[in-house]
C-alpha cells in the first residue's frame, strides 16, 4: 500500500481511490533530481537523516498542475525534472491534502529548475543545498522562512554549459554504476579468498594423510622384502634337504 512520505499528508491507495485523481510517484533514478527530492522531503519532515526507500512515493497533491500530464492511455505522469513544491508544511492542513481538493499552499519553495534540455545541477551546488537544509533543521523545529533559502541560479545560458552538465550527469551515473560493480567484485574476491583458504586446508589435510600412507607403504614394502628374502632362504634350504635325502636313498640301494 503506497503511502505518501510527506509527514503531513494522509494520502494512500486505501484512503484515495483511483477516481479521486490522486497518483503516487516514485523517487527519480536521476541522482541529481533524487538529491533535490530528498532535500525537500527532509526539510518537510524536519529529519535531516531521512533517506528514500525503494517503495517511497510522493502523491500528486504536492506537485504543480504544470508538472503533470496525461499519456495517451490516460495515465497521469510527472514531467521530467519536476520537484514537489505544494502542501509540504504546517500551513497546509492534513484535511486539505487528504480530500484532494483545492490545496492551500505556502509560497513555492525556491527549488532549482531543470530546463527542457535536461541540464543537471553540479554536485557542489547540490551539496550546498543539503548542507543549508540540515543547518536550518539543527537551529530549531520551526519551519524556516522561505526568504532564507539561498538564491541559486541553475539555468544555463550557453550550449557549452548545457553540454558540460549533460556530460557531468552521465559521468555521475557511470560513477555510481562503477561503484556498484566494485562493491560486487570486492564481495566476490572475499568469497574466493575464503574458498581458497578452505581448499588450502583440505590440501594440507590430504598431504598429511598421504604422508602417513606413504610411510605405511614404505613399512609394508620393507616387510614384504624381508618375507621374500626369508622365503628364498627357506626354498634354498629345502632344496638342500631334498638333495641330502636323495643321496641317502641312493647309498642304501
Domain segments of the chain: what residues? 18-112
pLDDT exceeding 70 applies to what percent of the chain? 70
Round to whole Å and give the CA distance between 78 and 74: 13
Q: What is the mean pLDDT of residues 49-61?
A: 88
CA atoms within 13 A on the CB side of 92: 26
Taking a C-beta distance cutoff of 8 angstroms, is the pair 85, 111 a contact? yes
Looking at every residue in the chain, the average pLDDT score rounds to 75
Per-residue pLDDT, 123:
45
pTM above 0.85, yes or no: no
Question: What cell numbers appear for 141 in the block?
Answer: 523545529
Q: What is the mean pLDDT of residues 145-163?
A: 53
Residue 185 pLDDT > 90: yes
Round to whole Å and give the CA distance between 78 and 83: 9
Round to whole Å and give the CA distance between 162 and 158: 7
Q: How far is CA 2 from the centre of its chain?
A: 22
pLDDT band at 16 (very low <50, low <70, confident <90, very high): low
Amino acid at each position: 500500500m503506497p503511502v505518501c512520505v510527506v509527514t503531513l499528508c494522509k494520502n494512500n491507495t486505501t484512503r484515495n481511490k483511483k477516481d479521486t485523481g490522486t497518483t503516487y510517484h516514485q523517487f527519480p533514478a536521476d541522482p541529481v533530481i533524487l538529491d533535490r527530492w530528498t532535500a525537500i522531503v527532509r526539510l518537510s519532515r524536519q529529519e535531516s537523516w531521512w533517506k528514500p526507500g525503494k517503495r517511497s512515493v510522493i502523491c500528486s497533491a504536492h506537485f504543480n498542475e504544470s508538472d503533470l500530464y496525461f499519456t495517451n492511455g490516460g495515465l497521469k505522469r510527472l514531467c521530467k525534472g519536476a520537484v514537489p513544491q505544494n502542501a509540504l508544511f504546517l500551513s497546509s492542513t492534513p484535511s486539505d491534502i487528504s480530500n484532494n481538493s483545492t490545496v492551500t499552499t505556502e509560497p513555492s519553495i525556491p527549488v532549482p529548475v531543470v530546463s527542457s534540455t535536461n541540464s543537471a545541477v553540479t554536485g557542489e551546488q547540490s551539496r550546498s543545498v543539503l548542507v543549508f537544509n540540515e543547518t536550518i533543521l539543527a537551529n530549531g523545529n520551526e519551519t524556516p522562512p522561505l526568504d532564507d533559502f539561498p538564491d541559486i541560479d541553475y539555468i544555463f545560458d550557453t550550449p557549452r554549459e548545457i553540454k558540460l552538465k549533460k556530460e557531468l550527469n552521465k559521468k555521475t551515473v557511470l560513477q555510481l554504476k562503477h561503484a556498484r560493480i566494485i562493491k560486487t567484485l570486492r564481495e566476490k574476491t572475499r568469497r574466493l579468498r575464503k574458498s581458497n583458504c578452505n581448499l588450502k586446508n583440505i590440501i594440507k589435510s590430504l598431504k598429511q594423510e598421504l604422508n602417513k600412507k606413504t610411510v605405511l607403504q614404505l613399512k609394508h614394502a620393507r616387510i614384504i622384502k624381508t618375507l621374500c628374502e626369508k622365503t628364498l632362504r627357506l626354498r634354498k634350504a629345502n632344496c638342500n634337504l631334498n638333495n641330502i635325502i636323495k643321496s641317502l636313498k641312493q647309498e642304501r640301494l
